[in-house]
Chain A
């Protein structure tokens, strides 16, 4: 949205008035509160600092630093909140996707999940992208990185169920390019203003996801696939575990090639992935060996027995 970029530069508190959906109304309220708190705090500061000699050059200098640091910390906090919103909503989408039991439900639930993902794209993620416009991306990355990972997990899970393959980072990025919404008159006038003002902000802006966040999100996806596999057995579906198993095996093999180069987070993920894979493989084993002997509803219980956790060096 081109118009917002301008107000954004002046002050972020004035933003958030022209976005639809349930997110924005909540955020508007929140932002308002933020501002009030902020002003309260500022006033208190003023009172407390009344003894400060404002003419000292040091004081003038530090007043400027105060503004800069406050802006940075406030933006960071807002991004943490947005990141948390993304996490919560993504988890809900994942739960929703786990509810697919019969094939008849599948389309309906997928459609609903798709709608939720789109909602998320146009609300919280869009706001994150807004906050980051003209800012140093990596300065704030830690604030919203967990949320983004959860989002990647939800989206890849959705696409795996829908198409049976892994969606690439580029494809995810395609949904995260935002532009002004034509149906909102407010933003149109704002856009006109900004062009008449001689500014040329980019017509679109996007939210980048770092490759590492994407890969960590995929690492989480394997956990969901493991749950899906166990659920499938519980529902008497004895083919799906084998498909999931081979998918997970491919994934595990691919993750192993990174070794230690991808950081500690990744090593931990790979270790968890190893555990998930063992569980799924054991499930497949049990289906093969016992499948013909006991009713399928009892099979599910058997998988819940805990496997001894061995730490082998090649599990990361």
Chain B
């Protein structure tokens, strides 16, 4: 084998070995984060319980406390990713980050009844939003997280009616409608995000059905409902 050829192949072999090491470490860091995310998800599932609505403030406080660990774990992950190569390994934490965005968004919504900003999510996860600063919160991931939340909220609307609370469906209806409005401003490409956005209309439909059921039975809570579109 001529000299240049063996050099070429040797250096590529080194490149492969190196990459494998990096991936290995990233995988470990991501696994820890996934575990934590599952913990928070299980915690927040409490809202669907019969008595869940009254425990919302507690659940949110607990969930917020858990994000402190998430922040630390993201710092670990951050340190494993070589500079300028965020998107090279993005697939390893893409889904995880979407899930965590969803959890942050849900926590904030339950507490403050508003849509969480991207900066705030990034802050809760210990990340930044500018992509030139290295490890950041990708816009796609944030938006996917919001769409995951819409799905969860449509479920929550149903369950809150079962639990005898008729105000949440009203609020959720306004909220999801607004979110839908926002998403319709985006010119989405035919990719994963678009696919998730396409599912948003079903969540909206579900919530609207719940509101309809309540209305025709006269179960609509009086007072704020007629002027509902002006939330807060």
Contacts of A141 in B (CB 8 A): 87-88
Is the C-beta of A66 less than 8 angstroms from some C-beta in chain B? yes
Q: Hey, what's the 0/1 contact readout for A137-167 against B, CB within 8 Å counting as 1?
A: 1110100000000000000000000000111
Given A58-B115, A211-B12, A262-B16, A65-B186 contact (CB < 8 Å):
yes
CB distance from A46 to the nearest CB of B (A): 11
A254 with B6: CB separation less than 8 A:
yes
Residue of A nearest to B175 (CB): A58
Q: Name B181's contact: one of A52, A72, A253, A254 (CB within 8 Å).
A: A52
Q: Name B86's contact: one of A49, A61, A136, A255 (CB within 8 Å).
A: A136
Count, chain B residues at interface, CB 8 A: 39
Q: Name A62's contact: one of B16, B90, B185, B189 (CB within 8 Å).
A: B185
Is the C-beta of A190 less than 8 angstroms from some C-beta in chain B? no
Given A52-B185, A58-B181, A138-B85, A69-B139 contact (CB < 8 Å):
yes
Residue of B nearest to A56 (CB): B178
Cα–Cα distance between A56 and B87 once the two chains are bound (Å) = 33
| A123-147 interface with B by 8 A CB criterion | 134, 136-139, 141
A70 with B187: CB separation less than 8 A:
yes
Contacts of A68 in B (CB 8 A): 139
A73 with B187: CB separation less than 8 A:
yes
A168 with B186: CB separation less than 8 A:
no
A166 with B2: CB separation less than 8 A:
yes
B185 with A254: CB separation less than 8 A:
no
Is the C-beta of A30 less than 8 angstroms from some C-beta in chain B? no
Residue of A nearest to B180 (CB): A58
CB distance from B28 to the nearest CB of A (A): 19
A211 with B179: CB separation less than 8 A:
no
Q: Name B20's contact: one of A52, A62, A136, A261 (CB within 8 Å).
A: A261
Residue of A nearest to B182 (CB): A62
Q: Hey, what's the 0/1 contact readout for B132-173 against A, CB within 8 Å counting as 1?
A: 100000010001000000000000000000000000000000
A166 with B115: CB separation less than 8 A:
no
Q: Name B8's contact: one of A58, A137, A168, A262 (CB within 8 Å).
A: A168
Cα–Cα distance between A139 and B85 once the two chains are bound (Å) = 9
Enumerate the 4 nearest inter-chain pairs by beta-carbon distance, A residue then B residue, closest first: A62-B182, A138-B87, A138-B88, A254-B9
Complex A-B: 12 CB contacts under 8 Å: A52-B185, A58-B178, A59-B182, A65-B186, A66-B185, A139-B86, A165-B2, A168-B4, A169-B8, A211-B11, A250-B5, A258-B12
